[in-house]
Amino acid sequence: MQNETLLKMESDKPVGAFIEAMRQEAARRGFIIHNEDKMAMAQTFGGHGVAVAEGFDLHMIQICKPEKAAKSLAANPERAVLMPKFIMVFTDYNKTQIRFLQYGEEQIRNLLEDEVFPDSLAATYQVIRQMLEAAA
């Protein structure tokens, strides 16, 4: 059984440059960064009065394809649990580290009774992987 897969990549681009490249790659494919105003976790935590370590630069980027997501959720709201697609980006070892968790088709089938969604979601994961590779 294929379970979740953690994609690990790194880039020589600084975090901000990688995010900008990711934004451009996403736009070319009809995706958006849904949470641009909240993806910098140091700012988000600070907005709640929580101090973080100096240099903390974790960004949680939520990728969305609004047109596809709206149709998909209208067809089956149960899909929502697997719809948020977050890419974690941070600096470590003087490089931008990129992490993306995706689920395998069989695991999606086991989680949801849905004939169409596992294939569709797997295809979306492939596109996101291509965007990440191009942006890195």
Q: pLDDT by residue (tens digit) across 106-130? A: 889 999 989 999 999 999 999 999 9
Structure tokens belonging to residue 17: 């440059």
Q: Parallel, antiparallel, or unpaired: how do β-strands 85-92 and 59-64 relate?
A: antiparallel
Could you tell me the pLDDT band of residue 60, with boundaries at 50, 70 and 90? very high
Q: Can you tell me which residue has the tokens 């997501």?
A: 69
Alpha-carbon distance of 76 to 63, in angstroms, equals 20
Q: Which of 83, 85, 86 is nearest to 74 (CA)?
A: 83
Structural domain range at position 106: 5-135
Count of structural domains, the chain: 1
pLDDT tens digits for 8-59? 999 999 999 999 999 999 999 999 999 988 999 999 999 999 999 999 999 9
Q: Name the region of 56 (left: φ>0; alpha: ψ -120 to 50; beta: rest).
A: beta
Q: Which CATH number characterizes residue 110's domain? A: 3.30.310.70
